[in-house]
Structure 1
Amino acid sequence: MPPRIQQQTLFTRPMVAVLLCTLNGFAGFYLLLSTVPEYAAQTSGHTAVAGIITGALMASTAELAPAGRRSQGTGWNGVATGLGGTVGTPFGVLLAHRFGYQPLFVAGTVAPLCGLLAALFIVAPRPAPVVRPRVVTGIVRPAILRPFILLTAGAMASGAVVTFLPLAAPREPLWLTPVALLLFQLGITGSRWLAGRLGDRFGNRALLLPATLTTAVGVLGATLTGDSATLLILMLVFGAGFGTLQNATLVLMLQRAGRKGFSVAGAQWNLAFDAGLGLGGFCVGIVVQSTSYSIGFAVVSGLLLMVSCIALRDVRAGGEAEGEEK
């Protein structure tokens, strides 16, 4: 969807209500499906609607937050989105393991209805004049490309862990995988808030390298499914690193795009995030077929270590003023 339309029309009360009801309908249809192509088509529509909501929320948050506190604004945005994952990811796995998938799909159908209450209190910001949207071609700009690559690599690690940890970890004890995913999501949610405060105080560029390295170390926890304590600790570390990376890359892309490009930058960030999630599950799945889950997770960790040089390059790049508004 064009960023101009996204920012100017989506964050109104009627449109949010329509989008949430659409999201609710997509979740309910899972109960009626039986084949892989049907599930693939359904999931594509479901994630498309969720992506539109997330992109509009990002652009509106950037508009509403003062320039000097934009990191904190996106941090609270991350807390809001992270709370859903904190509840849904671990307890979804637990529901599926314990009761099967039908109760899970019913819960996914009911949950979006809670957002209808919040829609009553939405105040849409007045959008800035939007320049010609260049979502894909604008990524090649080095100042945007560096955080784009870092986020894509981090999202690949997240996609790999969320997809394959429930399969790689032992079924007993039953609580191990849900608790590991809960700690991962809690790490993301808490670090988004903390990264917002640190970003406004010290600059988001300084957070890129430690966030990338922490994510690379944390994902190795998925290779240690036989040691419950180490797995849980590293999943928390993994979430903290990835959450910090999310917030730092988002704010940098927004600031470098300038106020007129907030919607474009938000769309680019979502593109990196969603592409990374899909690529992580797909690529690690290919590796796992001929090797093992541990090697698949180790490959993703190695990828993050490789792209850490991009984070270092961004730190050393002194050409772009981090807080510049265009």
Structure 2
Amino acid sequence: MRAALEEDLPLAPSLSLACANRASTHEYERAFMVVTRRPRMATLGGVIFIVSNVFGSWALIFPVTPLLVSAVGGSGFAAGGTTGVFMTATIAAQLATPTLLRRYDFRPVVVSGCLLLGLPCIALVQWSHDITALMVISAVRGLGFGLVTVACSALPPHLSTSDRLGRAVAAQGMANAASQTVFLLIGMQLFRAGGVVAVSVVATAMAVTAALAALGLPRAMYGAIGAHSDSESTRGVLKRPIALASLAVVGIAAAYGGLSALVPLVGYPQSTHAGVILATVGGTVVAGRFVAGHYSHRILDRRSTAQIGVVAAIAGTMCFSVAVTSANAAFPVALAGAMAFGFGLGWIQNVTLMRTLVSVPPHRVGFASAAWNISMDAGIGLGATMTGAVADHSGFGIAHLSSAVIIALTVALPLAARQNRSQQHRQVMREVPASRE
């Protein structure tokens, strides 16, 4: 795993200019201009279009697969296991993506990822009653999702100048969050109204549309920009802060994975309520990240400020625990929990990402970004599987309470740990290629 992570993603122009050894600044800028002037879709808007469709296709099916498993008599463990299998495959693909990018460049990797994510959705129509087939479909889709997420997170630096890189990354992050929020809600409504056929067709169409758009990517973008090679690829990396941040990411992601797997299985008064709850979580994640980003200087310097997200996330999981035992107020309490948990999730995501980035020198930002993404996906898969097992044994209420305990132990404590002094004073560029935001 470490070796794969150390095969860094292509660096942003602003980073490569600082460390390129084989080309002068003039030669580098000329190569960059050749790439960005390629015809068809060498624009950030095109990348945002691809990402929006990819995350929309993912969000449509994400809450539906556990429902299909449950409908054929599968246990809560099996229902959550579909998410676990998906995320395991995603991580495997993310580990391999840097090597694939170096060998085949962006276009084939992104197109392949989109097709692997979308085409298996059609198989859901035929195999929706077979739990084993649902697991296999989840695994294949996870491979595609892993390829696209890592590759697309490296595209904005190649399609924007260094002075606009921060805006480019922010725009892509907002597109991700908005697409997830909207299509989580639409996916549940489509499934209730038209069954697995309707949601599968739309998810497939969105992924195929993204693949067609990706055909407009330049053929040799990776090769023209080049990548920095460092014989000591982990030199300058502060391992303890990264380990603490990664543990916190796994913890909060596990709580999110468990929540996403259980919410569709709870019998709320109306069938659309589960979709509304999941969409609310996605929407308030954006708010949490925005507010945390505004106060990022205080978050890094004060351990108590970082705990705001922890308190909100724990309060949210407690609300979900109460909601499953409250027949009359189930939906309002769950909705309040979704708002609190989503805000806390967004806050913690921003805190951990910032602490990860300031723990590495500029030329290792790709390593930090990949580590953060893999921790997030691993936590979602682990949380969905383990929370499903707890729900089978002790019920939904105890399962949500266990998520609160996980947050307290694996998120609150690492974020409370004193940061290394050299980390606090490390100079990091203002604009860096961040991960999936």
TM-score category by the smaller chain? 0.7 to 0.9
Q: In the TM superposition, what is the alpha-carbon distance from 1:59 to its structure 2 partner?
A: 3.8
Match of 2:121 among 27, 36, 40: 27
Q: CA deviation at 1:9?
A: 6.3
Please list, as runs of the form range in 1=range in 2, the aligned pairs for 1:81-230 lying within 5 A after superposition. Answer: 81-116=176-211, 119=214, 126=225, 128-131=227-230, 141-170=239-268, 172-199=269-296, 201-202=297-298, 204=300, 206=302, 208-225=306-323, 226=326, 227=329, 228-230=331-333
Q: Tell me what 1:321 maps to.
A: 424
Corresponding position of 1:282: 385
1:250 aligned to which of 353, 378, 395:
353
User: Relative to 1, partners in 2 of residues 1:319 and 1:139: Cα closer, same or farther, differing over 3 Å?
Assistant: closer
Contact 1:2 1:133 in 2 (8 A): no
* Cα distance in 1 between the residues matched to 2:169 and 2:300: 12
Give the alignment partner of residue 240 of structure 1, picking from 327, 335, 343: 343
Q: Distance in 2 between matches of 1:101 and 1:91?
A: 13
Q: Is the 8 A contact 2:313 2:345 kept in 1?
A: yes
Rg larger in 1 or in 2? 2
Provide Cα deviations, 1:128-171, integer angstroms capped at 9, x if missing partner.
41446989xx999211111101111111111111100121242x
CA contact 1:7–1:60 (8 Å) conserved in 2: no
- CA deviation digits over 1:17-64, x for unaligned, max 9? 343233222323323324222221221121121122112233445786
Does the 8 Å CA contact 2:238/2:359 hold for their aligned counterparts? no
How much does 1:14 deviate? 4.9
Give runs of aligned pairs for residues 74-85 of structure 1, distance below 5 A: 75-85=170-180
Query: CA–CA distance in 1 between the matches of 2:365 and 2:145?
Result: 19
Paired amino acid for 2:307: L
Q: 1:3 to 1:262 in 2, by over 3 A?
A: farther
Normalising by structure 1, we get a TM-score of 0.83
| Secondary structure of 1:256 counterpart | coil
Cα distance, 1:245 vs. partner? 1.7
8 Å contact kept, 1:56–1:263: no
Unaligned runs of 5+ in 1: none
Whether the 8 Å CA contact 1:155–1:274 is kept in 2: the answer is yes
DSSP-derived class of the 2:271 partner: coil
Paired residue for 2:144?
A: 49
Structure with greater proportional helix content = 1
Task: State the distance in 2 between where 1:234 and 1:78 align.
Answer: 24
Asked if the contact 1:208–1:249 (Cα under 8 Å) also holds between the matched residues in 2, the reply is no
Check the 8 A contact 2:110/2:151 in 1, yes or no.
no
Does the 8 Å contact 1:208/1:311 carry over to 2?
yes
Equivalences, count? 320
Rounded Cα–Cα distance in structure 1 between residues aligned with 2:288 and 2:171 = 10
Partner of 1:45: helix, strand, or coil?
helix
Give the TM-score taking structure 2 as reference length.
0.64
Are residue 261 (structure 1) and residue 399 (structure 2) matched?
no
2:80 aligned residue = none
Q: Structure 1, residues 184-226: CA drift from partner, whole Å, max 9, x if none?
A: 1111133334433433x54556563222222222222222323
CA RMSD of aligned residues (A): 3.3
Flag structure 2 segments of 5+ consecutive residues without an equivalent. Answer: 1-94, 430-437
Percent of matched pairs sharing the same residue = 18
